[in-house]
Homo-oligomer: A and B are copies of this chain.
Amino acid sequence: MTDLLGRLPGYALRRAANAVMGELGDILGDRGFRITEAAVLLLVQDRSDLTSSQIGKTLDIQRANMVPLLNRLEAAGWIRRKPLDGKSLAIVLTAEGAAKVTELASVIEVYEQGLLQRVPEEHRDHLLPALNAIWR
């Protein structure tokens, strides 16, 4: 039973995700972001009508944990809380935030391309559909 762990998809998934999140965390950290913040910003760039709760549901972040996260993004001047009614707030990018996200998307795109290059060509196109089949 040599190399048992290397043959378990679950373990490989964990190690691969840890490696990638570590690398991406360093890259984004150099630019003042955390990974989860980057995900929120990219989502908000896509859609400017989402509330904190909706973002949380989409990204699997607890509503309660969205608060300090958005506070940080707001304090940095990248997002704004825009009232939709007396209860809900839409999260929208500021002009400064939009510029930051453009830079961010570019950095991430470069990293993701490099990531795919690590995967042997015959497996490359299968990675994303396989991963999405697991959690979606």
Contacts and interface: CB of A to CB of B under 8 A. Distances in A.
Nearest to A38: B11
Interface string A117-134: 011101110111111111
25 contacts: A5-B59, A9-B112, A9-B128, A9-B131, A10-B21, A10-B24, A10-B111, A11-B39, A13-B16, A13-B20, A14-B20, A14-B35, A15-B136, A16-B17, A16-B131, A16-B135, A17-B18, A18-B60, A19-B135, A20-B135, A119-B130, A122-B126, A123-B130, A123-B133, A130-B130
Given A19-B135, A126-B126, 18 more contacts: A4-B43, A4-B45, A6-B132, A6-B136, A8-B112, A9-B112, A10-B21, A10-B24, A13-B17, A15-B136, A16-B132, A18-B60, A18-B135, A20-B135, A119-B133, A120-B133, A123-B129, A123-B130
Interface of A: 1-2, 4-21, 24, 35, 39, 42-43, 45-46, 59-60, 105, 108, 111-112, 115-116, 118-120, 122-124, 126-136
